[in-house]
Amino acid sequence: MPYTLLNGAQRGNMIRRLAIVVAGLVAMSAAHAHHGFGNFAMNEDIEITGVITKLAFVNPHSWLYFNVTEPDGNVAEHRCEMRSATTLRRSGWTPEMFPAGTKITIQGSPDRAEPRACYVSTLVFEDGSSLDRYGQRIPAAPAEATTRVARLASGEPNIFGDWAQEQVVMTDPRGQRGTLVPLSRVGEFAPGDAPEGQRQIPGARGTEEAVAGRNPFAGGQRPRVAAVTLTPAGEAAMAALDLGSRVARSCQNTSILADWAGEPVNRIAQEKGAIMLRYGRLGLERTIEMNASGHPAALEPSRVGHSIGHWEGDVLVVDTVGFAPGVLVGTTPHSGELHVVERFELNAETQRLTRNYTAEDPLYYAATHSGTDTLIPSNVPYNPEPCEDLTPAVPAPAATPAQ
């Protein structure tokens, strides 16, 4: 049976459900889920000087490789982890900053599993200048955002362009302690602070896990937690999910909902009869058909589904069906019956593009999953970076001795 666009009453009910969603908490939760100290001993300090051999400018984390002359005269290759290529680019970091043959000193924390790996806190360059892990070298927003044309010639709101969620940074610019806050608010906190209602990230310097030398992410397995109440069929599907390794998960798309926010820079193109959404995360692409009265009766299931849209005043309403079974967010599965409705609205004054969404799946979900996210004009162009998880394997926790 083909789906059609929801009527006004149904859309109104969905929007009322969204009133319980707090956008800021959702954004912070997503950021914390991504950020982790892995196997790094954050309570320990190291300082290493060497000569750069190469840079892996990739997502989800970039790695700097350099040769170090050991006390015995032998030369050994070391590598240290930095933030994702996308985030570094939005902070003004470029591969050209790290040419091979350059001397560099790295201050940071050692990896507990790999002797010649570390976490970068501060980089000291050959000329004596330094840059902290969360250093911002360019403005966080483009200057032209304030002069953006509000409407296209057709009269539609102008949502064309490159968009990204506001960057989040640790309250400690070296990235060793504290928690994550929006870049625009970092000046409100002392280095290492955790704002009211937030705790320091587990594993950060001074936390119980770091002091005890425990790795809160050991094993690399996520708990299976549903983002919505599941039906028995949904619970069975979640239990049967093959989560794969952390490395495999790092470079896979999740869904049209989960991959829109977070670190990527996305692009929206408004064309005649269609709107194109290009996701910075792994280059996922969607086409929203604007002149269709409904979905085709027969659809080839896909990761992005089939999207049709229309304008309700200045709100772009997008209705999507025809999904291949997969994961909606985290470890929450969805079946081929998934039905997603998104509402995009641009605040012309603040230049904030808000998306409210609902997801219904009569086979797997006993309730409607809803959420919201907000993007701002990106300070760098759309450019999906390569993805390769080069993080050392995290050893499983040691078995507790029998009493």
pLDDT at 28: 39
pLDDT at 146: 66
Residue 249: CB partners within 8 Å, gap ≥ 6? 243
Mean pLDDT of all residues belonging to the chain: 87
pLDDT grade for 15, boundaries at 50, 70 and 90 = very low
SS3 (DSSP) at 35: coil
pLDDT exceeds cutoff 80 at 332: yes
pLDDT at 331: 93
pLDDT at 10: 39
Average pLDDT of the residues in 164-187: 95
Q: Compute how many other C-beta atoms are within 10 angstroms of the C-beta atom of residue 138.
A: 13
User: Integer distance in angstroms from the first to the last C-alpha of the chain?
Assistant: 60
Closest to 342 in 3D by CA, of 313, 371, 322, 367? 371
pLDDT exceeds cutoff 90 at 35: no
pLDDT at 109: 97
SS3 (DSSP) at 187: helix
Distances (CA, A) of 150 to 21, 145, 154, 190: 27, 11, 11, 38
Q: Identify the helix (H) or strand (E) that includes residue 308.
A: strand 306-312
Instruction: Answer for the pair 195, 189: CB distance below 8 angstroms, yes or no.
Output: yes
Instruction: Answer for the pair 359, 334: CB distance below 8 angstroms, yes or no.
Output: yes
What are the residues facing 43 on neighbouring strands? Answer: none
pLDDT grade for 395, boundaries at 50, 70 and 90 = low
Residue corresponding to tokens 């959404």: 277
Q: How far apart are CA 21 and CA 19, in angstroms?
A: 6
pLDDT exceeds cutoff 70 at 239: yes
The pLDDT tens digits for 253-276 are: 999 999 999 999 999 999 889 999
Average pLDDT of the residues in 130-153: 88
Q: Identify the helix (H) or strand (E) that includes residue 49.
A: strand 46-56
Rounded to two decimals, the pTM is: 0.87
pLDDT exceeds cutoff 50 at 62: yes
Average pLDDT of the residues in 153-165: 94
pLDDT at 142: 87
Encoding tokens for residue 95? Answer: 């591969």
pLDDT at 147: 76
pLDDT grade for 173, boundaries at 50, 70 and 90 = very high
DSSP 367: S
Q: Where are the domains of the chain?
A: 8-33+221-377, 46-132
- At residue 222, what is the residue type? R
Q: How many helices (H) and strands (E) does the chain have?
A: 6, 19
pLDDT exceeds cutoff 70 at 329: yes
pLDDT at 248: 72
pLDDT at 286: 97
DSSP 120: E
Least confident of 247-261, 301-315, 373-387: 247-261
pLDDT at 337: 98
- Out of 3.40.640.10, 2.40.50.1010, 2.102.10.10, 3.40.50.1980, select the CATH number for domain 46-132: 2.40.50.1010
Q: Compute how many other C-beta atoms are within 10 angstroms of the C-beta atom of residue 179.
A: 22
- SS3 of the chain: helix, strand, coil, percent, to 5: 15, 30, 50
pLDDT at 243: 80
pLDDT grade for 24, boundaries at 50, 70 and 90 = very low
Encoding tokens for residue 259? Answer: 């991959």
Average pLDDT of the residues in 325-329: 96
pLDDT exceeds cutoff 80 at 144: no
pLDDT exceeds cutoff 90 at 64: yes
Closest to 38 in 3D by CA, of 180, 244, 219? 219
Residue 161: CB partners within 8 Å, gap ≥ 6? 148, 267, 268, 377, 378
Phi and psi, residue 37, nearest 5°? -95, 5
Q: Compute how many other C-beta atoms are within 10 angstroms of the C-beta atom of residue 170.
A: 25
